[in-house]
Amino acid sequence: MKKLEKYSFGVGDRFTRQGRAQLAALLEAKKLGVDIVPVWNKSFREHSIIHTQPDSVRAEADAAVKALGWKNGYYVDADHIGLKNVDLFISASDFFTLDVADFSGKPADQGSVADFIAAHRRYIGKLRVEGIDHPLDITEGVIESAARKYLLAVQEAGKIYRHVEAKKGKGNFITEVSIDETDAPQSPVEMLFILSAVAREGIPAQTVAPKFTGRFNKGVDYVGDLVQFEKEFNEDLAIIAFAVREFGLPGNLKLSVHSGSDKFSIYPAIRKAIKKRDAGLHLKTAGTTWLEELIGLACAGGEGLVIAKEVYRKAHGRYDELCGPYASVIDIDKTRLPSPDEVDLWDEKKYSETLRHVQSNRNYNLHVRQLLHVGYKVAAEMGDRYYRALEDHEEVIAHNVTENLFDRHIKRVFV
């Protein structure tokens, strides 16, 4: 059976050109004694916009591993898939993120809910879980509420899992259950019964992605109550450890944090918690690799800077089209977006500093960053012109990609 290593890192790459640069960051961590395995991911939506196929991600991963002599494990994630599109990913992927957000909050049939309640009556009362400083108050109503909110979603995850298992064979892939795109965070009690439902469905989940308090906007830092986040993160770790023993889930089951990229302010709490509990972690945070490409092009000057400015101009002009699909995970103040004419006057330094995620830099603009994060469609439409620019300026772009992953992410969480 494939077993996901203790620490894994989701490396997204819109244009499948930075696999070696991404892997180089993990090699830097390895030199310091920290083993982290890469999980290359690209969603169905991203493939649809860029007009690529999942096989391209497998090819990128395999080529990077071969080029750099990587000896550890590595995976290709079918990112946020459902029954409607999973077949496109079967051959290329060995990691499947089962996305059932569309089914959360919708009740399962009454018979299933009643059976679920009956199977869990033994937990009614005050349940103590090691690592949580107060007993969980469980009533029949609490169990019923959890079942009505999440049971149908987990049943759908079971359908997707069994479909993949029938195609790939038992034990030949890693399974993640994702419940992070729901309206509200899951309480410890809800997490407990979600994991029980996962076990009852026969899903050998090795990672679970809950929703946490706060805003996880694309490409920018966390916005929310850091104390509350730390409390939720630690309680989820405790619930996972309890559920592994109680329900027979895989012993390496761990939290997956779908950060939307670059949630630097929560990294200290994550680091502290996983070290304290000796827990594993899957951190999915590198969707901003595409922004590092833009920064690299800008830094290169010449045609690279021209392309970077053109991407901004077109993204600015197509704001509603590009931002609409991501409306729930961006917060852009349009009054804080400079005009394209103003951006055309910027030099390499001004453009790169505006976009690079260094919050202490006075030029940094989180609104520009979010707009360009969701504006990758513009670059995709440039076709060969954009890809040639990536090749022409590969060295400076690769430096940016590796530095971003290692210095701003890996070092802060794992090293």
In a domain, 2, yes or no: no
User: Whole-prediction pTM value?
Assistant: 0.95
pLDDT at 80 over 70: yes
Res 193: pLDDT = 98
Please tell me whether residues 53 and 191 are part of one structural domain.
yes
Q: Which burial class, exposed, middle or buried, applies to 311 when counting CB atoms under 10 A from its CB (0-12, 13-18, 19+)?
A: buried
Q: Give the SS3 label for residue 84.
A: coil
Please tell me whether residues 281 and 331 are part of one structural domain.
no
pLDDT at 286 over 70: no
Please tell me whether residues 204 and 81 are part of one structural domain.
yes
Please tell me whether residues 235 and 325 are part of one structural domain.
no
How far, in Å, are 134, 204, 232 from residue 210 at the CA level?
21, 17, 10
Res 16: pLDDT = 95
Res 288: pLDDT = 87
SS3 content of the chain, % helix, strand, coil (to 5): 55, 10, 30
Strands (E), 222-360: 254-258, 281-284
Please tell me whether residues 223 and 302 are part of one structural domain.
no
How many folded domains does the chain comprise?
2
- pLDDT (tens digit, 9 = 90+) per residue, 380-395? 999 999 999 999 999 9
pLDDT at 7 over 70: yes
Res 375: pLDDT = 96
Please tell me whether residues 35 and 83 are part of one structural domain.
yes
- pLDDT (tens digit, 9 = 90+) per residue, 295-317? 999 999 999 999 999 999 999 99
Report the chain's terminal Cα–Cα distance, integer Å: 29
Query: Sorting pLDDT into bands at 50, 70 and 90, what band is 1?
Result: confident
Res 40: pLDDT = 96
Dihedral angle sign, alpha carbons of residues 331, 255, 28, 92: negative
In a domain, 344, yes or no: yes
Res 38: pLDDT = 97
CA–CA dist 207, 177 (Å, integer): 7
CA–CA dist 268, 413 (Å, integer): 7
pLDDT, mean of residues 231-244: 98
Please tell me whether residues 89 and 123 are part of one structural domain.
yes
Indicate which CATH number applies to the domain containing 186: 3.20.20.120
Structural domain containing residue 246: 7-288+409-413
CA–CA dist 54, 78 (Å, integer): 8
- pLDDT (tens digit, 9 = 90+) per residue, 246-272? 999 999 999 999 887 899 999 999 999
Please tell me whether residues 95 and 236 are part of one structural domain.
yes
Please tell me whether residues 307 and 172 are part of one structural domain.
no
Check: CB of residue 187 under 8 Å from CB of residue 131: no
Please tell me whether residues 42 and 190 are part of one structural domain.
yes
Check: CB of residue 123 under 8 Å from CB of residue 144: no
Q: Which burial class, exposed, middle or buried, applies to 53 when counting CB atoms under 10 A from its CB (0-12, 13-18, 19+)?
A: middle
Query: Sorting pLDDT into bands at 50, 70 and 90, what band is 273?
Result: very high
Percent of the chain clearing pLDDT 70 (strictly above): 100
- Which residues touch 313 (CB under 8 Å, ≥6 apart)? 340, 343, 344
pLDDT at 32 over 80: yes
| Residue whose C-alpha is closest to residue 413's, from 274, 210, 214 | 274
Pairing, β 125-127 against β 136-138: antiparallel
**How much is the mean pLDDT over the chain?**
95
- pLDDT (tens digit, 9 = 90+) per residue, 38-61? 999 998 989 999 999 999 999 999
CA–CA dist 11, 27 (Å, integer): 14
Whose tokens are 């892997």? That residue is 23
In a domain, 11, yes or no: yes
Res 106: pLDDT = 87
Whose tokens are 């929560």? That residue is 266
pLDDT at 180 over 90: no
Please tell me whether residues 309 and 268 are part of one structural domain.
no
In a domain, 1, yes or no: no
In a domain, 105, yes or no: yes
Res 206: pLDDT = 98
Which of 283-287, 323-327, 344-348 comes out lowest in average pLDDT? 283-287
Please tell me whether residues 200 and 281 are part of one structural domain.
yes
Res 285: pLDDT = 80
Percent of the chain clearing pLDDT 90 (strictly above): 92
Cα angle, residue 374 at apex, residues 372 and 377 outer, rounded to 5°: 95
The larger pLDDT score, comparing residue 45 to residue 200, is at 200
pLDDT at 183 over 80: no
How far, in Å, are 19, 28, 59, 92, 285 from residue 70 at the CA level?
12, 12, 15, 19, 21
Which of 1-5, 98-102, 146-150 comes out lowest in average pLDDT? 98-102
- pLDDT (tens digit, 9 = 90+) per residue, 99-144? 887 888 888 999 999 999 999 999 999 999 999 999 999 999 999 9
